[in-house]
Amino acid sequence: MSKFAFVFPGQGSQSVGMLDAWGDHPVVAQTLQEASDALGEDIGALIKNGPKEDLALTTNTQPVMLVAGVAAWRVWQAEGGAAPAAVAGHSLGEYSALVASGVLTLAQAAPLVRLRAAAMQEAVPVGTGAMAAVLGLPADKVREVCAAVTAQLGGAEVVEAVNFNDPGQTVIAGSKAAVEAASAAVKEAGAKRALPLPVSAPFHSSLMKPAAEKLKLALEALELGVPQIPVVNNIDVAVQTEAAAIRDALYRQAFGPVRWVECVQAMKARGITHLVECGPGKVLAGMTKRIDADLVGVALFDPATLAEVKELLA
């Protein structure tokens, strides 16, 4: 069997009806019920019916993406899928990876990510923060431009490189004025495009520090399990096994960059040849191929892709 890892997507891959293809699979139904009980609302109805605008609210997006990733993972297990050599998640997806690894239960993780989302939204009022995807400019150059723009604006406004998604795509975040200035500056520096992202807060920037402090308190109150599968984290590109170190990494991840290119490279260094995106969409599968053409990136989000992945890895 090929050596493989499971990776879990974050915000942006959600869609109304994204679990419909699983039909009435009992594992999916049970997962939805667990999450609904933990959150005190019918999360399955929200996913099935939307509306899209409600699903796009950060306080809803984070729990529904967690649940969708965990549901696909549990179906894989229930259908006899082998254990991966490692797991990881992009941004919010790290919480799905921690559930898959046994560090968090779904009942712990669902309220935790909702708290995380609410704290992030409260940290920066809607309309005052922004994010943009910079295409076609090396990450180091994007970092340089962000530092220069922040210095020019005198520190009152801030913009930072926060998501290193693939060699040609780096996401920037910060205060609205600084992101707009940096978007113009990266184009002058040779970027093909700087696309504003439809998000409600500048995720993973230092402006999220107040949110991280609230998250830290919630994490300290949780008893974490011992990882049963290595989890490559976003903030340090490291595998932690001690509860205190895992808590600290999640705390810093809230206001630190998602080092996805390095996470994928770290998994390859472990001898992994296939990355299976577990949950809605194919965003991470596409990134995998752009990060390293030698790696195989595939998606698992319905019964048909489940069968394809099983055959591919056999």
Query: Active-site residue 204, yes or no?
Result: yes
Longest CA–CA span in the chain (Å) reads 57
Q: Is 21 exposed, middle or buried (0-12, 13-18, 19+ CB in 10 A)?
A: middle
Distance CA 106, CA 66 (A): 9
Distance CA 135, CA 197 (A): 13
Provide long-range contacts, Cβ within 8 A and 24+ apart, for 241-247. Answer: 246/98, 246/103, 247/216, 247/219, 247/220
Number of separate helices (H) and strands (E) present in the chain:
13, 8
Out of 25, 90, 204, 274, pick the active-site residue. 204
Distance CA 306, CA 299 (A): 8
Query: Active-site residue 90, yes or no?
Result: no
3-state secondary structure (DSSP) of residue 175: strand
Out of 25, 36, 90, 91, pick the active-site residue. 91
3-state secondary structure (DSSP) of residue 190: coil
**What residues have CB less than 8 Å from 44, skipping those under 6 apart?**
19, 29, 32, 33, 36
Report, as residue numbers or ranges, the catalytic residues.
Answer: 91, 204
